[in-house]
Structure 1
Amino acid sequence: MTRGKKPNWMIEIAKERMDILFNRAEKEYKEHPERAHRYVELARKISKKYNTKIPQVWGRRYCKNCYKFLVPGHNCTVRLINNEINIFCSECGYIMKIPYIREKKLKRRAKIDSYTFKKRDYE
């Protein structure tokens, strides 16, 4: 196969496979955590091979350092600290920091919009 960008149909199939693997990892984690970790490894391999990103829904469900499947309350801890979501992996001790400024901005804008609507009602 030639090098470079893969056809769109291949990329779509790869995304479906990754989604299936993460769904299975979620189901299997309680009884077989090592199997769930293996599913994450396979999904990452597919992602690398087809040069695509892991779907955003599943992007925060595995550790970026040790590549283990994360389940809050079992092998990771989630905290909100200083406008960040801190996900602490209990397997390797890595802390993933994800800003949530966008959500705060949207909330602030919604508040401002509701204020302007109320102001216009009085006029």
Structure 2
Amino acid sequence: MSIAEERIDRLHQLAHDAAAEGDHERAREYVRLARRVAERNRCGLPKKFRRFTCDKCDAYLIPGTNARVRTQAGGHVVVRCDCGETKRYPY
């Protein structure tokens, strides 16, 4: 595991902890920083990180707090952020 991947994992944990405490602005900063690290080092973000972040407003999503999670009949999970951005994932 490279230094960049270790740093992205650490920033993911910090963003999760900050969002759980209710400090959403600090969590946004951690998400933005992790994305910049991934871009500079040309490594992708882990799936667990991509699934819990909003692409539009960089919020760390916590279901029931700032995100709605629903299942669709077609076999998809729909995650909607408070800003209105929607993501769909197959299950």
* TM-score between both structures, scaled by the size of structure 2: 0.90
1:78 counterpart = 2:66 = no
- Aligned residues, how many? 89
Using the alignment, how far apart are the partners of 2:75 and 2:66 within structure 1? 23
Q: Which has the higher strand share?
A: 2
Corresponding position of 2:6: 16
Runs of 4+ in 1 over 6 A off after TM superposition: none
Contact 1:64 1:96 in 2 (8 A): no
Greater helix share, structure number: 1
Tell me, yes or no, if the aligned pair for 1:76 and 1:87 is still in contact at 8 Å.
yes
Contiguous gaps of at least 5 residues in structure 1: 1-8, 101-123
Report deviation, 1:65: 2.1
CA RMSD of aligned residues (A): 1.2
Structure 2: unaligned runs, 5 residues or longer: none
Structure with greater Cα Rg: 1
Return the TM-score normalized by structure 1. 0.68
1:60 aligns with 2:51: yes
CA distance in structure 1 between the partners assigned to 2:86 and 2:48 by the alignment: 19
